Amino acid sequence: MRTGLRIFAIGAAFVLTLGPLCRADDEEKSGPPPIKWTKGPTTAKLGSLGEITIPEGFLFADGEGTRKFLELSHNPTSGSELGLIVPQSDKESWFVLFDFDDLGYVKDDEKATLDAPKILANIQKNTENANVERQRRGWKPFHVNGWYTEPYYDTNTNNLTWAVNGSEDKGESASVNYSIRILGRRGTMNVDLVLDPSDMAATEPKFKSLLAGFHFTGGNRYADFVKGDKVASYGLTALIAGGATAVAIKTGLFAKFWKLLVVLFAAIVGAIKRLWNKVTAKRDPKDEFPPAGAQS
C-alpha cells in the first residue's frame, strides 16, 4: 500500500494528514475515478453561492468532482464541497479546495484586535488535544510550530487569512497550511491551498491572483446581511482558533468533539506529487474538455 496525501473534512476546516492512497490491485482493476474538468478561461459556479474566474492554464472541478478527488485519496467527504482548482501544467503540484460553512453571519468587530500570540497558543492546544484522538486511530501526531502568516482581516474583501508552520515529531515533514475564510451573508467560503511548502514562494502570488476572481452571487455577499439573518455564535478569533470545538462543548457534544475540532495544520510531503500525478492522470492533449464558458 502506498501513502499519499489524506484530507479529512472536519467541521469548518480541513485536516491534512498522511494516509493510504490506494491499493495497487484496486488501481489495476478500476483505475482512478473520472473527474470532469472544465478548462479555463471560464467562469465557474461554486454552488449557488459564488462564482470564480478560471484563467487560462487552470482547470476546475465542481462539487461532485471535488468529492471524487477526496475519495480518490480515501478521504471522507462532508457534502459541503463546492469546487477544486488545479494548474493544467503537470510541472506544478498544488490545488485549491472550496467548501462552504453555513454557520451564519460572522461579525467582524474583532478585526482590529486579533491577538496573534494568543490565537497561536489556542491553535497549538487544540492541535495537541486532537493528537490524542489521532494517536488512538493510529495516525501520526502533528505539531504547530508557529505562524507562516499571522492572521489578518481585509475589510475590503471580508477575507480572513492565516497560515501556520508545522511538522511531525522531531521536526520531520515540515509543512504549511494556508487558509482563507471569505465572510458572506450566511456563512464562510472556506478556501484551502494545498501544496508542498517548498513551492509556497512561487505559488502564493498565483493563489492570491486566483482568489481575486471570486465573488459571492447577489444576495449572498457580506454586505447583503439584513436584520433577522442567522448570526454566528462566535467571531473572527474563534473562527481561526477552533470555534467549532467551543460550540461542540457548550452544546453537550463533547463525545463527538473530534468530528468538529478545527485543526489548522497538516503534513504535506513529497507524497502529494504521487497523489497529484494520479488525480491528473487524464490531463493530456487527448482529453476532451468542455468548451470554455461551459460548466462541469
Q: How many CA atoms lie within 13 A of 165 on its CB side?
A: 11
Confidence of residue 234 (pLDDT cuts 50, 70, 90): confident
At residue 127, the pLDDT reads 81
- 69: Cβ contacts below 8 Å, ≥ 6 apart: 35, 61, 84, 279
Q: Which helix (H) or strand (E) holds 189?
A: strand 188-195
As beta bridge partners, residue 14 has: 9
At residue 15, the pLDDT reads 35
Neighbours of 20 (CB within 10 A): 12
At residue 64, the pLDDT reads 93
Cα separation, 231 vs 233, whole angstroms: 6
Cα separation, 291 vs 296, whole angstroms: 10
DSSP letter assigned to residue 161: E
At residue 42, the pLDDT reads 97
Query: Does the pLDDT value for residue 14 go beyond 60?
Result: no
At residue 105, the pLDDT reads 97
Most confident stretch, 6-20, 197-211, 213-227: 213-227
Confidence of residue 65 (pLDDT cuts 50, 70, 90): very high
How big is the chain by its Cα radius of gyration, in Å?
A: 19
pLDDT digits (tens, 9 = 90+) for 103-125: 999 999 999 999 999 988 888 88
Cα separation, 85 vs 69, whole angstroms: 11
| Across 139-158, average pLDDT | 89
Query: Does the pLDDT value for residue 31 go beyond 80?
Result: no
Higher pLDDT, 186 or 262: 186
Q: Where are the domains of the chain?
A: 3-279
User: What's the predicted TM-score (pTM) here?
Assistant: 0.71
Q: Is the dihedral of CA 202, 207, 208, 212 positive or negative?
A: positive
Cα separation, 142 vs 127, whole angstroms: 7
| Across 147-168, average pLDDT | 90
Confidence of residue 272 (pLDDT cuts 50, 70, 90): very low
Could you give phi then psi for residue 9, rounded to 5 degrees? Answer: -80, 110
